[in-house]
A and B are shown apart, each in its own frame.
Chain A
Amino acid sequence: MLFNSLDFAIFLPIVFILHWFVAKKSCNHQNLVLLLASYVFYGWWDWRFLFLISFSTVVDFFIGIYLSKESHLRKRNALLLISVFVNLGLLGFFKYYNFFIDNFITVFSFFGHPISSSSLHIILPVGISFYTFQTLSYTIDVYRKKLEPVKNFIAFSVFVSFFPQLVAGPIERATKLLPQFYKKRKFEYNKGIEGVQLILWGLFKKIVIADSCAPFVNDIFANYSNSSGSVLIIGAVLFAFQIYGDFSGYSDMAIGVSKFFGIDLMTNFRTPYFSKNIPEFWRRWHISLSTWFRDYLYLPLGGSRKKTIIVIRNIFVVFIVSGFWHGANWTFVFWGALNGVYYLPSFFIKSLELNKIVLFKNSFFSRLLDFLGILITFSLTVFAWVFFRSDNISMAFIYINNIFKKSNFFDLGHLQLSGHSIKVLFFYLIFFVIIDWIYRNKSHVFVDNNNFLHDRIFKPFIYLIGILAIILSTNNNANSFIYFQF
């Protein structure tokens, strides 16, 4: 069930009514409604997925309980390993089995030992990468004694399968999300209003920005060999907006929907394209995954408090694993490694934020440097997205090569797409960038009541433009979210 579908528009009010009016007596009743709703939501894709998530839930629930009872280190390690093995095993099988088989075949064939293919037709369960990491964080935190294991199976099941963030995050920490399922929730007016704002803004990002960019991006990436340099650059930039609108739009809607049920989720995006350097970008992009890797991979590997060579290794491990997490394709691995390369200078030059030099502070130069920083960071990010979007690495290199190689650089002929207007998209992008800029330092949009957007006359007008744009940009069939495939 997609957030941007009619099914969900019917589903959400039903769950809202059941949660606040039918199951209002106790926390357990409320959790039960959320659990049933989550399973309906997830089973809407394919009911067989429910076995997987139930299995993962049961395993981690009991491992958590045994971990709390067990004091012997070797047994505790064994329990943790079981959880890691089960969760990553499921993920590995469903997501990476065919990738590894295909690569083994390629390697053996290369050395003159061709072997027959035995790839399976495996359906990737939606959101498996997200809930696997979420349950893993729980077991690891219990293992580290940072968290008391949950005794209430329903509360734990809701934590694993909570529908707003089940299929595309944010990947929540047990320490933050679980306690919210322990106590009876009371409806808060402000949360409800914030929820509505976030859902609308998320829909705008998804439908107006991402889905409007998609046809152009698809067309340009499909015809990259015939397109001019300028068109290829536009294609890469539009993909940057597409993936941002798509993924952050989903996160905003997830956070907004959760607020309807009195649950707070972590902020997943903070206007990342206004970052002044790459480390800042990674503090603002997919925050829940970045912090997950920081806490459960980078720091256990030694973080940045080791020898230089170890730190460099750690940085690359995290970025490459992060890339691989996105999908079973070398393009994602390359994308991750490239971001690792981008990240390295910040390690050597401790502060790239030159504007903090006293001489420049609050001056025109400071603002100019900020602007240049944003421009360079955005350009580097767009460059990396080409690898992320391409079917394979050689395609990405040809794409980039064609940007510079073609003689007809300014020929925009290939931007003509029947039924879609680049002018309309351009207008929407400007509107989007302005709103994003206004809230660039906030946790989410419309959070600050002191700017002109909250003017009594201006505010409804902005809402009207947003809603009108959503209606006018809606496709006949609800488009899926890019991050579902991860």
Chain B
Amino acid sequence: MRDFLVKIVVGFLLFYSVLFIIQLVLDRVLDNESVCDNTWNKVFNGKIKSDIVILGNSRAEAHYSPIIIENKTKHSVYNLGLSGTPLNILKIRWQAYVNRNKLPKLLVIDIDKSVLGTSKNLFEKFQYLPYSNKHEYQEVAKEVDKDFYHEKLIPMYKYRGYEMQIIKKIKLIAGESNCKNSYNGYKPQDKPWDENNWNIFRKRILADNAVEKAYSIAYFKGIDELNEIIHFCKLNKIEVCLVWSPQYYEMDNYKKEQRKFVDSIVSEIAIKNNIYYVNFLRDSLSFDKTNFYDKSHLNLKGSMAFSEKMGDYIMKYFLLNVNH
């Protein structure tokens, strides 16, 4: 019995250690800068030294061109936008950014009703896995991810079901990446308006509109997160600008009350904190379908035009005393 138990314990510890080492190696391999989408690597390794930083979800990611804004403002810009991610999850990126990188002079937060919502899971979780030992990730993940503790305890368990994505990323790291148009976190979509997609959305939303959810509760956590970020910026003398970037104008016909509610809350926050809030929903960009590829996202053409406007806006309202 003694020999058996010793063998089991030793064997367990041995395999546990080897698996743990494999996980560490894999984490290091996947945490790589030489891929198009390398923002996580830059954020967690303190490589961003930009004066202007943009925060938000996929709309931020696809709308703000750092090159154009840099050209306009003559200040370095980084786009921290993250697809499918509201503020309660975006906190991972923001916290990692402020803890490990040079603080910016201006923070632009792209606002809409989605970014202020609350997510109960990690969208595209694979992107976070190499950083799961970082405290910024753990603080958020333990709240929303029911597998958090299992993944922490069992080595390699966090990578379950991601075999193909691991291989794909390693191939990208090893090979040449086609990073056309991507720059400093900006991921534009060079595609035209999809009418079919729009019609499907309209049918779905009309059915959904019958019962509008109790949105004041839905945004409670998101508003808290926004206030926290603004508070941090105040303490660290970072200027903040809230922006509701363009959405196709017909969107205004749907979930109107919800949109109004979010808009009024954001206005209140802006007034209370004495910060700028600009809403592009009535801007000319929002009325032209050719600027969009779907109801909420500008395409490459639209995002370039919007970035020009944002560059002008920043130049006009924010005086940045940064030397290059």
User: Shortest beta-carbon distance, A16 to chain B, in Å?
Assistant: 10
| Residue A467 lies at the interface, judged by CB distance under 8 Å to chain B | yes
Residue of B nearest to A187 (CB): B1
| Residue B18 lies at the interface, judged by CB distance under 8 Å to chain A | yes
Are the C-beta atoms of A467 and B159 separated by less than 8 Å?
no
User: Shortest beta-carbon distance, A100 to chain B, in Å?
Assistant: 43
List the one stretch of A222-230, A320-328, A345-353, A471-479 in contact with chain B: A471-479
Q: With a CB–CB cut-off of 8 A, which chain B residues contact A464?
A: 15, 18-19
Are the C-beta atoms of B163 and A20 separated by less than 8 Å?
no
| Residue A468 lies at the interface, judged by CB distance under 8 Å to chain B | yes
Q: With a CB–CB cut-off of 8 A, which chain A residues contact B162?
A: 472
| Residue A101 lies at the interface, judged by CB distance under 8 Å to chain B | no
Are the C-beta atoms of B4 and A193 separated by less than 8 Å?
yes
Are the C-beta atoms of A468 and B19 separated by less than 8 Å?
yes
Of B1, B7, B15, B146, the most chain A CB neighbours within 10 A belong to B1
Are the C-beta atoms of A468 and B156 separated by less than 8 Å?
yes
Residue of B nearest to A196 (CB): B8
CB contact between B164 and one of A193, A424, A463 (< 8 Å): that residue: A424
Compute how far the CA of A189 lies from the CA of B5 in the bound complex, rounded to whole angstroms. Answer: 9
Are the C-beta atoms of B4 and A187 separated by less than 8 Å?
yes
| Residue B147 lies at the interface, judged by CB distance under 8 Å to chain A | yes
Are the C-beta atoms of B4 and A471 separated by less than 8 Å?
no
CB contact between A472 and one of B4, B15, B159 (< 8 Å): that residue: B159
| Residue A401 lies at the interface, judged by CB distance under 8 Å to chain B | no
Chain B positions 139-185 with a Cβ under 8 Å from a chain A Cβ: 146-147, 154-157, 159-164
Q: With a CB–CB cut-off of 8 A, which chain A residues contact B159?
A: 472
Compute how far the CA of A20 lies from the CA of B1 in the bound complex, rounded to whole angstroms. Answer: 9
Are the C-beta atoms of B161 and A419 separated by less than 8 Å?
yes
| Residue A421 lies at the interface, judged by CB distance under 8 Å to chain B | yes
Are the C-beta atoms of B1 and A473 separated by less than 8 Å?
no
Chain A positions 155-208 with a Cβ under 8 Å from a chain B Cβ: 187, 189, 192-193, 196
Residue interface bits A390-422, CB-to-B below 8 A is 1, else 0: 000000000000000000000000000001110
CB contact between B19 and one of A20, A420, A424, A471 (< 8 Å): that residue: A471
Chain B positions 1-45 with a Cβ under 8 Å from a chain A Cβ: 1, 3-4, 7-8, 14-15, 18-19, 22
User: Shortest beta-carbon distance, A199 to chain B, in Å?
Assistant: 11
Are the C-beta atoms of A472 and B22 separated by less than 8 Å?
no
Residue of A nearest to B156 (CB): A471
Are the C-beta atoms of A192 and B22 separated by less than 8 Å?
no
Known: A193-B4, A468-B22, A474-B157. A463 touches B15 (CB 8 A): yes
Known: A467-B19, A468-B19. A192 touches B157 (CB 8 A): no
Compute how far the CA of A460 lies from the CA of B7 in the bound complex, rounded to whole angstroms. Answer: 13
Known: A20-B1, A189-B4, A471-B156. A476 touches B19 (CB 8 A): no
Are the C-beta atoms of B163 and A472 separated by less than 8 Å?
yes
Compute how far the CA of A350 lies from the CA of B161 in the bound complex, rounded to whole angstroms. Answer: 49
- Listed from nearest, the 9 A-B pairs whose CB atoms lie closest are A421-B164, A192-B4, A424-B163, A187-B1, A472-B160, A471-B156, A189-B4, A474-B160, A471-B157
User: What are 28 A-to-B residue pairs whose CB atoms are below 8 Å?
Assistant: A20-B1, A187-B1, A189-B1, A189-B3, A189-B4, A192-B1, A192-B4, A193-B7, A196-B8, A419-B161, A424-B163, A460-B14, A464-B15, A464-B18, A467-B15, A468-B19, A468-B22, A471-B19, A471-B154, A471-B155, A471-B156, A472-B156, A472-B160, A472-B162, A473-B161, A474-B157, A474-B160, A476-B147
